[in-house]
Amino acid sequence: METMKVILFDQSGEAEKLYIGNFLKPKVADEEILVEVKAAGLNRADILQRMGKYPPPPGASPILGLEISGVIVEKGSKVFKWNIGDKVFGLIPGGGYAQFAVIHEDMAMKIPDSLTFEQAASIPEAFLTAFQAIKWLAELKSAEFILIHAGASGVGTAAIQIARELGAKIIITASAEKHFICKELGAEVLINYKTQSFKEIVMKTTNNYGVDVIIDFVGGNYFKDNIDSLTRDGRLILLATLSGGKASDFDVRKILVKRLKIIGSTLRSRSLDYQIRLTKDLKEFALEKIASGRIKPVIDKIYDWKDVIEAHKRMEENKNIGKIVLRIN
């Protein structure tokens, strides 16, 4: 059996558990392509999986890594839309921290000539997650107010640009030193969550109207103020619970009175058909804009994959502005 180099961990735990070792090289199914991976994006899901808190979906590779870019080196018997040597990027259910990875042919996207492998690898998870939340779930409309928490994160920077293209009025939360990138991308109101009450600023900014949409990764600690910040018929899209899953001192009648929609969503556990349709929609919405530079991936730092421990620690410490990417070699 042919092997390849991958990033492994033998026991769940801290970043120091990660190391480069050997693993079986994946085989392509009929509708899959084998990609020689040039770069892989980091995500909080990788950290949670490393810690034993987020197992991969059934049938997915146990190797970390949900987004890749690289060159096609092999294709399945039913793949006709791609050729050996094509440069592609895309979202996968696992297996990205490796020299080779498989991806369904309809999940792969062509890398625009204007993008590097590292830039391409920083796009799939962030932009698909943001696009799903804003366009598919929240159905954000022009001139609506949207509050994006963690605005300087990978998903946050993608969400700002998608909301901007839809003509929304954008409010973000982030630490003060990260405000500059959010403003550059299109955010109009910048809130320092460490020193300011986002609820107070939202209500002041909107003349007590509230926001139409909130994209949240924080969960428990923000839930009450999120509900208070939403206007009637508002939509809260919950994508993570970084502060925990429990909300206290909350009056559920506000949901009823305001006719609110509260939607929780993860992308990794969605069906392949769902992810293919989402990828197709994102391509139609954003790929030309990405190629022209109107929409851009925001990269915080690129690490050689031998420095994966340092890369994981940077994300865990919330130091990154935009995406952290591993260069695979």
- C-alpha neighbours within 13 Å on the C-beta side of residue 174: 31
Residues 105 and 189 in one domain: no
Q: Total structural domains in the chain?
A: 2
Predicted confidence (pLDDT) per residue in 148-164, tens digit: 999 999 999 999 999 99
Local confidence band at 213 (pLDDT 50, 70, 90 cut-offs): very high
Looking up residue 109, the CATH number of its domain turns out to be: 3.90.180.10
Residues 117 and 139 in one domain: no
Residues 179 and 246 in one domain: yes
End position of a domain, from candidates 244, 264, 284: 264
pLDDT at 1: 82
First and final CA of the chain: distance in angstroms? 21
pLDDT at 191: 98
- pLDDT over 90 at 235, yes or no: yes
Local confidence band at 244 (pLDDT 50, 70, 90 cut-offs): confident
Residues 52 and 116 in one domain: yes
Angle at 12 between CA 6 and CA 15, to 5 degrees: 65
Three-class SS of the chain: CCEEEEEECCCCCCHHHCEEEEEECCCCCCCEEEEEEEEEECCHHHHHHHCCCCCCCCCCCCCCCCEEEEEEEEECCCCCCCCCCCEEEEECCCCCCECEEEEECCCEEECCCCCCHHHHHCCHHHHHHHHHHHHHHCCCCCCCEEEECCCCCHHHHHHHHHHHHCCCEEEEEECHHHHHHHHHHCCCEEEECCCCCHHHHHHHHCCCCCEEEEEECCCHHHHHHHHHHEEEEEEEEECCCCCCCCCCCCCCHHHHHHCCEEEECCCCCCCHHHHHHHHHHHHHHHHHHHHHCCCCCCEEEEEEHHHHHHHHHHHHCCCCCCEEEEECC
Residues 73 and 36 in one domain: yes
Looking up residue 217, the CATH number of its domain turns out to be: 3.40.50.720
- pLDDT over 90 at 247, yes or no: no
- pLDDT over 90 at 220, yes or no: no
**Per-residue pLDDT averaged across 87-92, rounded?**
98
**Per-residue pLDDT averaged across 253-257, rounded?**
96
Residues 215 and 259 in one domain: yes
pLDDT at 170: 98
pLDDT at 112: 98
- pLDDT over 90 at 325, yes or no: yes
- Domain containing 312 equals 3-123+270-327
Residues 228 and 215 in one domain: yes
Residues 202 and 217 in one domain: yes
End position of a domain, from candidates 213, 241, 264: 264
**Per-residue pLDDT averaged across 26-43, rounded?**
98
The pair of three-digit structure tokens given for residue 251, joined into one six-digit string: 């009056």
Residues 66 and 137 in one domain: no
Residues 253 and 188 in one domain: yes
Residues 145 and 255 in one domain: yes
The pair of three-digit structure tokens given for residue 256, joined into one six-digit string: 């009823």
Predicted confidence (pLDDT) per residue in 123-135, tens digit: 999 999 999 999 9
**Least confident among 30-34, 178-182, 183-187, 267-271:** 267-271
Residues 162 and 251 in one domain: yes
Give the pairing of strands 100-104 and 3-8. Answer: unpaired
Local confidence band at 253 (pLDDT 50, 70, 90 cut-offs): very high
pTM for the complete prediction? 0.96
85 by Cβ neighbours in 10 Å (0-12 / 13-18 / 19+) ranks as exposed
